[in-house]
Structures are given as structure tokens and as C-alpha cells.
Amino acid sequence: MANISISKDSPAPGRPKTTIERRPASAEGQGFSQKLASFSIWREKFVSAIEAYQHWVEQNEPVEGENDLRIYELIESLKSDKLKIAFMGELSRGKTELLNALFFSDYKKRLLPSSAGRTTMCPTELRYDVKTGACIKLLPIETRKTGTTIAEYKQNPVQWTTLHLLKRDSAKELEAAFLEVTKTKRVHTREAEELGLYDPSNEIANRGISIVDDMIEIPCWRHAIINYPHPLLENGLVILDTPGLNSLGSEPELTLSMLPEAHAVVFVLAADTGVTVSDMEIWNNHVSCTKKEQLRERLVVLNKIDAMWDPLRTESEVNKLINKQVESTALSLKENRKIIMPVSAKAGLTAKINDDSELLAKSGINDLELCLARKILPAKYEIIRRKVVYEVSGRVEKSQQLLKAKYNGVDNQLKKLKELGGKNLDEIQEMVSIMRREKKKYEMEIKGFEITRKVLTKQATVLFNDLNLKALDQLIRLTRKNMRESWTTAGLKKAIRLFFKTAMHPMGNVKKKSEDIKKSVDEICHKMHKEYGLPLIRVSALSLVPYVMDLKKLEGRAEVFRNSAAIIVTEQNTVISKFFVVMVSEARKIFDECSQHAQGWFQELASQVHNQLRVHKNIIDKGLESIRAIHEDIDTIGQQISSLEQEKANIAAQLGIVNGLLKKIQKPIE
Ligand SMILES: Nc1nc2c(ncn2[C@@H]2O[C@H](COP(=O)(O)OP(=O)(O)OP(=O)(O)O)[C@@H](O)[C@H]2O)c(=O)[nH]1
Ligand SMILES: [Mg+2]
């Protein structure tokens, strides 16, 4: 599907032949790589429009540290934005082969290791971050003994073993590196127990584990990141290949954070095995329970349909049989059959390697690719639109409002000056006095606002204290103690419930306090509107609902994980404590985001009112200055008018720029 550009120094034999185009093709029938390229171009344009706005703000608006920082953060987050697809399913259903067929067939070989039995030994992320350079990063399995999550290890390069990939397009080098990821070693059962990979009393979890002389085979690595400049990965695709059931049970981070972070989950089943009990376990505990949780897509792949290609049956008979299996799979999963795609990854890969279009059509790989493009990319676009486009547009609209207020102010002054033409010096003197009084009154108003602002800031600080991480950390310590004291399923359930209930409690308080602050600001805005004709600012209420929802979702996932087979049979201490560490670090992250959101809300509120008052003060000052000048020398009236006309034209030009930027920012994806 996608192709790598050819580098001069490495004419490797396995290298793809053509170069991927970053030009968007016509929308319908676009493959996944083209749609991803279009998406990536849209994102680049969007980022440069925000950057242009940021630049404009720096030149034209007063420095509001926090708000500027927020835009800078948004730009950075968009630049490193990724589209994450996770592939899940029981051992040997063909997840890795599917990746070979979908994304890596340009190498004209089976690039990722796929073979009978357990092959993918640890969760493997395929991605590309320019800063890191081409390499494979491996986190040793021994890190499982610590209470540190994979996400935390990602911040600390020291613990990872890094294999640098030297030649850009060498399939051989990549193949060898991928093999490293699948490495295993034999350790004593005691060591495996310590790592939480073996529990002598858990018969279900020990299915398929062979012990010889008290030695047991375990993966060498806990997590692998393949950072490689493949065009799809360069365009922001991140693929998460996961091993089968046991690993999902023993690495809670997959269930609690990595999978929920994915924009789409592809659940892989095999036609030759049908839907087995362990397939259902994965589906129920890790895929279907997350239904409608986020803007997330799910697809089910019924792989290995080549097992049903029977030369003794006609094509239509075979198709009927495949359809029947799709129907029965839909029934077992209680899902719409439309999301179940019958494919043969093996045939798809073979067809792509041999340029066999007939086999390719039969394999269903192209249909799957189109389905991925049609379902996943629009959903991802919607996420960015809802989150970032709205926020940035809101910010630009505020600049627009401020400019409009400035424009109206200058226009009013201009009208006043034009009326001065027929007046005598005494009348002008009278006007100067009136304006002086107005200015004084307005300055008192601003002083009053500054005092109110200080009071409000104090109130807001109390409000932020409720969302203090220190309080949460205390709760974490208490929950850990409760769990230690009652290491039973019921005790665990109670401790988790209490944890979430207590963690969510301050959010209600904060909401109430924020309403009081909003009321005070609303009153100021109304007064300024009524007395000085300033445009009425619509103050938005603080909404913490998304964070409460996130915590509720996490609680739901924690509940499902706690109920899952890996834990229910016997309580493995290592697994439970790891589960606790991950759950807590996720909750902490949500709490922290919530606290930052509340602070941002207040700063924005205060600066919005402050900016408006300041703009109006400038207008009053300038108006007074021109009238004073005219009073001193009536002949300067023409000069004053033309200077105001010039200012009005400048503001109109600024408005034009901001309107143009807003259009660019809101431009939908083609
Ligand atoms: N007949 C047939 N075999 C397939 C197909 N896809 C994969 N296989 C075979 O199934 C076996 C397992 O494939 P993998 O891709 O390693 O499966 P996996 O789901 O990644 O397995 P783990 O990594 O162990 O979880 C390999 O021998 C593949 O060649 C297919 O479409 N048809
Ligand atoms: Mg695999």
C-alpha cells in the first residue's frame, strides 16, 4: 500500500520500488495511506494557521502569559499528534500477519515475524518520532519488578535498550531488529513468579506454560517501540501490536491506559478456530466493554478465510459459507455484522508480494483497508475538531471581539471630532472638562475592577486548592493501605469504589465555587455594558463534566479488569499492585488535567474582562488627547481626524487578518 522513498546510500534488495505521494487524491475510493496523507496535510495547514495567529497575538495583543502558553501547548500537541490503532486478539489469530499485509507489503516480504504458536512476546508499538531517529527501544522484562509504569519509563531513556537502525530502507536490518523483539529466555519459576508472569496456584493462567527442571520460558522484553521512518508512520500512524490473552491480564497498563488511548481497536479472530472461550474473554474484558467510551472505532477481522477456500465447492458456495460464519461471529459477539470483515492476511500478503490482483481481491485486504480509511480517519478528525478547533476558534473570536470594540470606539471618537467643526472654543473647553470627568470615573472603575480581580483570584486559589494533587496523593496512600488490609476481592472492590468517590468529590465543590466567581464577573460585564456601552462579554461556565466522565470510565475499566479471569481465580499480588499503580497514575493524570483546566478557565475569564477595560481606557485617553490638542489649536482638527481615520483603517486591516486566520483555522478537511 504505502511506499518508502529511496535513499541514495542504501540500495537494499528488499526495499519498496515507488515513492508514496503526500498529495491528496480524490476522496472516494482513497486507500488508507492516501487518506492519512491528506489528513496529515490538513493538520500541517491547521498548525501553520494557529502559528500565524500566535505570531499575530505576539505583535498585537498584550502579553497574557498563561493564554499564550496554552496556544503554544496546543501547537506542540498537534505537531506530535498520532493516530493510534491497536490490534488485539488471542494467540496466533494472525494479528502480526495482518500488519504485514496491510502496512508493510511494500518490502515484498514478511517483515514482522509471524509464525505458529506464540510469536509477539510483548506489546509492540510501531511509530515514528523524528527527534528519536530510527531505532528499536526495548524495555527489559525485569522492570516489571518495580512499581513504575511503562508510560513513566517512556520519560526515562536510561532503562531502555536501544538498537539503532542505520540504513534507512533495509528490510534485512528491520527483519533482524524485529526478531530481537520476539526473544525469550529461560528463568527459574521463582524469578517468573517475582515478575508476575507465573503463579503456581493459578491453573487457568498457566494454560500452555511448560516447566522443565523448574525453568520456564519468559519474554526478554516488557515493551518494544519500533521507531521507523515508514511513510505511514511518518504521517502519524501508531500501530500497537499486542500478544494474546495472558499478557493482557498481566500488564494492566494495556487495559487501563494503552488500549483506551487508541483511536481504533481491530479485534482479530480466525475462521479456522471460530470464536473460542478465550477469544470471548478478550472481547468482553478488553474490547466490547469500552464501547462508545470515547470517539473510538472498533472493527472485527475474521482472518484466515483461506481455510474455507475449498476447490471442491463453487465460489458462490464458499462465499455463502464465509457469510454464514460472519453471521455467527456477529451473534457470538452481539455485534453488527457490518463491522466484521472476512479476510485472509496470508493470501493478501502473498498477493501483494506477487502482484496477483485476483488473489488480492479474494483476500479481502483491500476492503479492510478502505474500511479503516472510511471509519477511523474521519473519527480522528472529529476528535481534533471537537477538542482543538473549537478551543482555538474561541480564542481567535475573542481577538475579533476586542478588535471590533476598538473599531467602534475609534469610530465614535471620529464622529465626535467631526461634530466639533461648528463649535466655539468655550464649547470645546466644556467637552474637555466632561471627558476629563469621564476619564476619572472610568479610572475609578478600573481600580475597582483590580480590587475585585484580587478578591476573585483569592477565591479562585481556594478553588484550585480543592483540586490539589497533594490531597489526591494522600487519598492514594490511604487506598493502598485499605487494599493491603483487605486483599480480598470484596475488599478490593470497596477500596476502588471509595477511591473514585473521594477523588470525584472535590469536582462538585469546585463547580459550585466557580459559579460564584462567574456571577461576580457577569455583574461587572453587565455594568460596563450598561454604563459605558462596552460589548457584553458572555462568560462561559466552568465545566468539569469531561473529567468526571473520564474518572467514571476509568472506574468502569478498573472494575472490568478486577473482574477479569486473570485476577479472579487467585489474587496475584504482583498483578494487583501493578494494576493499582497504573489505575492511580491514570486517575492522577485526569485530576491534574482537570486542575489545569480550572486554572485556565479563571485566567481566561479575568484576562478577557481586563483586556476589554484596557481597550476602552485607551480609547478614552486618545479621545481626550485629541480634543485637548484641538482646544489648544483649533486648526489641528483636520490632522486629528485624519490620524483617527488612519487608526480606523489599521484596525479594519487587523480585523481582515484575524477573519482570514479564523477561516483558515475552521477550514474543514477536504
Ligand atoms: N492460513 C492462514 N494462516 C494465517 C493467516 N494469517 C496468519 N496465519 C498464520 O497464523 C500463524 C500465526 O500468525 P501471527 O501473525 O503470528 O499471529 P498473531 O495473532 O500475531 O499471534 P501472537 O503474536 O502469538 O499473538 C502464522 O503461522 C501465520 O502464518 C491467514 O490468513 N491464513
Ligand atoms: Mg503477533
**Rounded (10°) angle between helices 390-419 and 32-60:** 40
Q: How many residues does the chain have?
A: 670
Q: Taking a C-beta distance cutoff of 8 angstroms, is the pair 85, 103 a contact?
A: no
Of 156-170, 342-356, 474-488, give the range with the top mean pLDDT: 342-356
Classify 410 as helix, strand or coil: helix
- Using the predicted structure, report yes or no on whether residue 169 has a pLDDT greater than 70: no
Domain covering 82-183+220-363 assigned CATH 3.40.50.300 in the classification = yes
Q: How confident is the model at residue 307 (pLDDT cuts 50, 70, 90)?
A: very high
Residue type at 587 in one-letter notation = A
Distance of CA 275 from the midpoint of ligand 2 (Å): 18
End-to-end CA distance of the chain: 21
What pLDDT is attached to residue 453? 82
CA distance 319 to 603: 62
What is the CB neighbour count within 10 angstroms for residue 628? 14
Q: How confident is the model at residue 1 (pLDDT cuts 50, 70, 90)?
A: very low
Of 32-36, 339-343, 638-642, give the range with the top mean pLDDT: 339-343
Of 337-346, 412-421, 450-459, give the range with the top mean pLDDT: 337-346
Averaged over 566-583, what is the pLDDT? 64
Q: How confident is the model at residue 30 (pLDDT cuts 50, 70, 90)?
A: low
Q: Taking a C-beta distance cutoff of 8 angstroms, is the pair 432, 628 a contact?
A: yes
Q: In what order do the strands lie in the sheet with 211-212?
A: 184-188, 215-219, 211-212
Q: In terms of Cα–Cα distance, which of 454, 460, 468 is closest to 542?
A: 460
Distance of CA 303 from the midpoint of ligand 1 (Å): 9
Distance of CA 95 from the midpoint of ligand 1 (Å): 7
Q: Taking a C-beta distance cutoff of 8 angstroms, is the pair 666, 660 a contact?
A: no
Using CA positions, which residue lies closest to atom 8 of ligand 1? 94
Task: Retrieve residue 261's grid coordinates.
Answer: 488511548
Ligand nearest to the CA of 116: 1
Q: Which residues line ligand 1 (CB under 6 A)?
A: 89, 91-97, 114-116, 118-120, 243-244, 303-304, 306-307, 344-346
CA dist 538 → 205, 310, 525 (Å):
58, 68, 8
CA distance 165 to 176: 10
- Using the predicted structure, report yes or no on whether residue 610 has a pLDDT greater than 80: yes
Question: What average pLDDT is seen over the chain?
Answer: 83
What pLDDT is attached to residue 231? 84
Q: In terms of Cα–Cα distance, which of 289, 331, 325 is closest to 305?
A: 325
Q: What percent of the chain has pLDDT over 90?
A: 29
Distance of CA 114 from the midpoint of ligand 1 (Å): 6
What pLDDT is attached to residue 166? 67
* Higher-scoring residue by pLDDT: 581, 314: 314
What is the number of the ligand 1 atom nearest to the C-alpha of 117? Answer: 24
- Using the predicted structure, report yes or no on whether residue 161 has a pLDDT greater than 90: yes
What pLDDT is attached to residue 579? 76
- Using the predicted structure, report yes or no on whether residue 310 has a pLDDT greater than 80: yes
Distance of CA 319 from the midpoint of ligand 1 (Å): 22
* Higher-scoring residue by pLDDT: 578, 85: 85
CA distance 606 to 610: 6
What is the number of the ligand 1 atom nearest to the C-alpha of 100? Answer: 15
- Using the predicted structure, report yes or no on whether residue 13 has a pLDDT greater than 60: no
**Window from 186-200, 392-406, 573-587 with minimum mean pLDDT:** 573-587
To test ligand 1's pocket by mutation, which of 97, 126, 182, 346 has the most ligand atoms within 8 angstroms of CB? Answer: 97
Burial of 331 (0-12, 13-18, 19+ CB in 10 A): exposed
Ligand nearest to the CA of 278: 1
Using CA positions, which residue lies closest to atom 14 of ligand 1? 94
CA distance 181 to 260: 24
Distance of CA 179 from the midpoint of ligand 2 (Å): 12
Classify 299 as helix, strand or coil: strand
Distance of CA 93 from the midpoint of ligand 2 (Å): 8
To test ligand 1's pocket by mutation, which of 88, 100, 103, 114 has the most ligand atoms within 8 angstroms of CB? Answer: 114
Q: In what order do the strands lie in the sheet with 340-342?
A: 161-164, 135-140, 221-227, 124-127, 237-241, 83-88, 264-270, 297-303, 340-342
Q: How confident is the model at residue 300 (pLDDT cuts 50, 70, 90)?
A: very high
Of 66-75, 125-134, 600-609, give the range with the top mean pLDDT: 125-134
Q: How confident is the model at residue 347 (pLDDT cuts 50, 70, 90)?
A: very high
- Using the predicted structure, report yes or no on whether residue 4 has a pLDDT greater than 50: no
Distance of CA 12 from the midpoint of ligand 1 (Å): 27
What pLDDT is attached to residue 2? 35
What pLDDT is attached to residue 34? 86
Burial of 203 (0-12, 13-18, 19+ CB in 10 A): exposed
Cell 478488553 belongs to which residue? Answer: 286
* Higher-scoring residue by pLDDT: 330, 452: 330
* Higher-scoring residue by pLDDT: 8, 213: 213
What pLDDT is attached to residue 285? 77
Ligand nearest to the CA of 119: 1
Q: Taking a C-beta distance cutoff of 8 angstroms, is the pair 351, 112 a contact?
A: no
What is the number of the ligand 1 atom nearest to the C-alpha of 97? Answer: 15
What pLDDT is attached to residue 536? 80
CA distance 364 to 370: 10
- DSSP tag of 539: P
Domain ranges of the chain: 82-183+220-363, 423-632
What is the number of the ligand 1 atom nearest to the C-alpha of 99? Answer: 15
Classify 486 as helix, strand or coil: coil
Using CA positions, which residue lies closest to atom 6 of ligand 1? 94
CA distance 150 to 251: 10
- Using the predicted structure, report yes or no on whether residue 322 has a pLDDT greater than 80: yes
- Using the predicted structure, report yes or no on whether residue 16 has a pLDDT greater than 60: no
pLDDT digits (tens, 9 = 90+) for 399-441: 898 899 889 888 988 888 888 777 777 888 888 888 888 888 8
Give the H or E element holding residue 550.
Answer: helix 545-563
Distance of CA 314 from the midpoint of ligand 1 (Å): 26
Distance of CA 115 from the midpoint of ligand 1 (Å): 6
Using CA positions, which residue lies closest to atom 25 of ligand 1? 91
What is the number of the ligand 1 atom nearest to the C-alpha of 113? Answer: 16
Q: Which residues surround ligand 2, an ion (CB under 5 A)?
A: 95-96, 119-120
Q: How confident is the model at residue 99 (pLDDT cuts 50, 70, 90)?
A: very high
What pLDDT is attached to residue 301? 97
Give the H or E element holding residue 240.
Answer: strand 237-241
**264-270 and 297-303 as β-strands: parallel, antiparallel, unpaired?**
parallel
What pLDDT is attached to residue 344? 98
CA distance 304 to 343: 6
Averaged over 390-404, what is the pLDDT? 87
Q: What percent of the chain has pLDDT over 70?
A: 88
Using CA positions, which residue lies closest to atom 26 of ligand 1? 115
Q: How confident is the model at residue 19 (pLDDT cuts 50, 70, 90)?
A: very low
**Window from 247-261, 387-401, 455-469, 525-539 with minimum mean pLDDT:** 247-261
* Higher-scoring residue by pLDDT: 273, 298: 273
- Using the predicted structure, report yes or no on whether residue 43 has a pLDDT greater than 50: yes
